[in-house]
Structure 1
Amino acid sequence: MQSSNKLSQCRSIHVLLFDNFSNHCLANAIEPFRAANTIARQKLYVWEHFSLPGGKVTSSSGLPVETRPLAGADQRGDYLFIMPSYGYGDLSNPKTSQLLRAAHRRYATVAGMDTGAWLLAKAGLLDGRKATIHWDEYTSFMEAFPDVMAVEDRFVIDGGLATCGGASTTFELTLELIRREHSPMFALEIAALFMHGDKLDMRDPLQRWSADALVRSATALMRRNLEQPLTIPELARQLRSDQRSLEKRFRDEMKTTPLSVYRGIRLREARRQVELTRLSIAEISERCGYRNTSAMIRAFRQEFGHPPGHYRRTS
């Protein structure tokens, strides 16, 4: 269960948009935080949209978004997300650089999404730091900014600066920010809402992707086997791994054991069914792998701080 003190802190997100921004990128940046609020049943994150002059900004697909002006405003917050997408070359000018340097001092984390790394690099904020960018622009980025340690990763977090390569990697970056702010289990629950990392890949379960591929495959297999939970040795066998390697990967990636994660996934499914269905608690227990309803209720209370009935009454 996440710490109640940590969950009670509300973080502010300011999104800096430019004309022809990617609507896909914007949605992937904000939806995980919206899901975090929904799952926690409290406002963990709030967000606002900004542009340099303010007013209406239109995405590359024609979606209009009303924004507040960032220029000249003394805005402060926890996160500033920069989304230029198309036309970033024309935006790389002294005025934009000056505003970004000033903004960097007012936000705990500044993230360049899609081609946002180009604007951060132009402002000198990435000198001596690791960074990445949309892969179509990677070579040009590396040549234009030799003082930046360009890497071909899906996202990079270096101190208070973050960069990622596009819409899908924006989603992964925001999940990582949530994971660092709360817990790996909380981020995993959010990822499951969007079926992120839900596809099993048995070809090479030990390869690394944005997160550990073996862990992602394992948690996907767990979600597919709730009513009849697998033993950890059987889970490892189906993933073509050995139990020791599986447990080590979970300790490295999730800071806990596979058994603990499996239990958390089953209990979160129980909570979802309690809130969204009229099934009896006994039937929910059965569907989530508990043959003893009392045992499920005790585990539920320990995980979430309240029994299932509390969640059903207040949902």
Structure 2
Amino acid sequence: MRLQPSDTLPERIGFLLLPRFAMVAFFSAIEPLRIANRIDGRPLFRWDVISRDGEPVVASNGMTLIASGSLHTAPQVPSLAVCASFDPESAIDGELIDWLRARAYEGCVLGGIDTGCYALAAAGLLDDKTVTLHWECLADFSTRFPRVDVVESIYEVTDEGFSCAGGSAAIDMSLDLIRRRHGDALAKQVRDQLIHEQGRRPASRQRNPAIPQEPMLQRAITLMDDHLESPLSIRALANELGITWRRLDRLFARHLAISPQKTYLARRLDHAYWLLSETPHSIMDISLACGFASASSFSRAFRHHYGSTPSQLRQQAVSNRA
């Protein structure tokens, strides 16, 4: 998952599976790589599965996966992902911490999938770095490791490491790797094979916020939140709900006293506000993640809604943290 490509093919990536790791996240990470190999006709990627003792590892779903090596026999790899899920700290001890620190010293780029960042943070390898992990653990992780900048995003990739929230977010991170290494065309072919609607950007959020309880209105707002990056037209939104756009308009007027168009725009801008305040993503990335075709159109809409530009809000957020 390094930003710089490997000198030779296949590019090797290690996956350290901790007990009760998330099977869905692990498979979501490697399947795009397998498909890329098949489509390209060359072994672009190779993965090594590692466990603490080289023995099979039981995942959180009760299934067992065979490992190809242990901490002591694993090959040197340019990148290594720590895969965990429930109760990640129960697997962390001095031996694991020393091993991770040794890998970092050797120049291996380390990352976490789902809750794998707990092990990296315990080893002191994430101080002053930005990472993400599953939203259920964000508050606990932030309290446990206050020197780590933790954000609720889909995935994070830097020169120093990588992390993703687990689940299907691992697909997006691997698609991003394929795109950076071998181009947009191959990444799109892999995405199509996975029937993955679109590759989400790192700034995409993991979950929907609380929404009103009126059933049809709730469904409408959920659809809006599910399509912040590629906004639906109001007619398309109504079609998805199985109602006319006029009925949709009346629904919003009755319960919110605002049009669905203005509601949709406000939710996109609210998400942008959070990203600008809480994450280091560029304004261009944030504008795309919130469904704007250009930074200029995003800036105009944001200024009209909040009374300040995205750049001004970003500067204020930085000053407040200083």
Q: Could you state the TM-score of these two structures normalised by the residue count of structure 2?
A: 0.59
Paired letter, 1:164: C
Where do 1:1-315 residues align within 5 Å? 9-73=9-73, 75-106=75-106, 108-197=108-197, 213-214=229-230
Distance 1:203 1:62, change over 3 A: closer
Contact 1:22 1:85 in 2 (8 A): yes
Secondary structure, aligned partner of 1:70: coil
1:214 Cα offset (Å): 3.4
CA distance in 2, matches of 1:38, 1:148: 38
Secondary structure, aligned partner of 2:168: helix
Secondary structure, aligned partner of 1:82: strand
1:6 Cα offset (Å): 9.1
Paired letter, 1:45: F
CA distance in 2, matches of 1:208, 1:127: 32
> Residue by residue, what CA displacement relative to the aligned partner does 1:96-154 show, whole Å, maximum 9, x if unpaired?
21111112234643220000011111111110110111100000111111111111111
> Residue by residue, what CA displacement relative to the aligned partner does 1:279-313 show, whole Å, maximum 9, x if unpaired?
xxxxxxxxxxxxxxxxxxxxxxxxxxxxxxxxxxx
How many pairs are equivalent?
218
Distance 1:36 1:122, change over 3 A: same
Distance 1:70 1:38, change over 3 A: same
Stretch moving more, 76-85 or 131-140: 76-85
> Residue by residue, what CA displacement relative to the aligned partner does 1:150-195 show, whole Å, maximum 9, x if unpaired?
1111111122311111211111111111122122232122111111
Paired letter, 1:111: G
CA distance in 2, matches of 1:193, 1:139: 36
CA distance in 1, matches of 2:72, 2:109: 20
Secondary structure, aligned partner of 1:111: strand
Matched-pair identity in %: 26
CA distance in 2, matches of 1:137, 1:195: 29
Gaps of 5+ in 2: 200-219, 233-283, 294-322
Distance 1:158 1:78, change over 3 A: same
Q: Could you state the TM-score of these two structures normalised by the residue count of structure 1?
A: 0.60
Distance 1:206 1:177, change over 3 A: farther
CA distance in 1, matches of 2:84, 2:221: 37
Distance 1:58 1:207, change over 3 A: closer
1:61 Cα offset (Å): 2.0
Paired letter, 2:145: F
Distance 1:44 1:132, change over 3 A: same
Contact 1:77 1:106 in 2 (8 A): no
CA distance in 2, matches of 1:92, 1:24: 22
Alignment RMSD, CA only?
A: 3.7
CA distance in 1, matches of 2:17, 2:6: 29
Stretch moving more, 180-189 or 35-44: 180-189
Contact 2:128 2:148 in 1 (8 A): yes
CA distance in 2, matches of 1:177, 1:214: 22
CA distance in 1, matches of 2:73, 2:7: 29
> Residue by residue, what CA displacement relative to the aligned partner does 1:203-233 show, whole Å, maximum 9, x if unpaired?
9999898xx9239x8xxxxxxxxxxxxxxxx
Distance 1:26 1:149, change over 3 A: same
Gaps of 5+ in 1: 218-248, 259-315
Secondary structure, aligned partner of 1:68: coil
Distance 1:188 1:109, change over 3 A: farther
> Residue by residue, what CA displacement relative to the aligned partner does 1:13-33 show, whole Å, maximum 9, x if unpaired?
211112222211111011000
